[in-house]
Every structure is written in C-alpha cells, then in structure tokens.
C-alpha cells in the first residue's frame, strides 16, 4: 500500500502533521512508502468554468520548499518518502 498525502500550505502544512505522516508509515507494515502530493492550483480553472469561487488560499510551493517537506518527513521516521 502507498500512503498518498496531499500537503496544502495554510491547511495541513505543520510539523505535527508531517511527523504524523511518518509515524503512520512506520506503524503499519502494509504501507510500503509515502508519496507526498504538493498543492497545485489546477482546480482554479475548473471552479471558474462551473461558476464557483475557488476557496483554497494557498500558493503553489517551489521545488526547494517541497524538498524541505520530504526531508522533514524522512527525519521523523524510517518509511520511504517520495514526491508524487
């Protein structure tokens, strides 16, 4: 099983959440690895097309920032962590 974890600044990006991801991956032997899915704003255009307001207030992170997240998760556990 692969644990796929979206990370959204201003919503779930904090050290406690990153640590919990690693701990969850370490706790269950059926989890082979963690894939981090950085926030993207692809839904913005879709929301506009259907006349909805895009309610997520987050910026797309730079690749260097995402690497910091991956390194932090790795530092909290033994599970393999990759970018998805």
**Whole-prediction pTM:** 0.87
Residue 45 in this model has a pLDDT that exceeds 90: no
What is the average per-residue pLDDT within 45-72?
Answer: 93
Domain count, the chain: 1
Average pLDDT, whole number, for the chain? 95
For residue 78, CA distances in Å to 12, 13, 28, 34 come to 21, 20, 12, 11
Q: Which value, in Å, is the radius of gyration of the alpha carbons in the chain?
A: 14
- pLDDT reading at 54 higher than 90: no
Closest CA to 83 of 4, 29, 28: 4
Domain range enclosing 20: 2-83
Average pLDDT, stretch 4-22? 97
Contacts (Cβ under 8 Å, ≥6 apart) of 27 = none
Q: Is 55's pLDDT higher than 90?
A: no
pLDDT at position 43 is: 86
């Amino acid at each position: 099983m692969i644990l796929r974890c979206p990370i959204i600044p201003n919503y779930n990006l904090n050290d406690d959440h990153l640590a919990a991801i690693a701990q969850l991956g370490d706790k269950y032997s059926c989890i082979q690895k963690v894939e981090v899915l950085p926030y993207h704003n692809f839904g913005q255009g879709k929301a506009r097309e259907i006349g909805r307001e895009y309610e997520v207030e987050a910026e797309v992170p730079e690749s260097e920032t995402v690497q910091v997240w991956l390194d932090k998760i790795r530092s909290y556990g033994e599970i393999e962590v990759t970018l998805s």
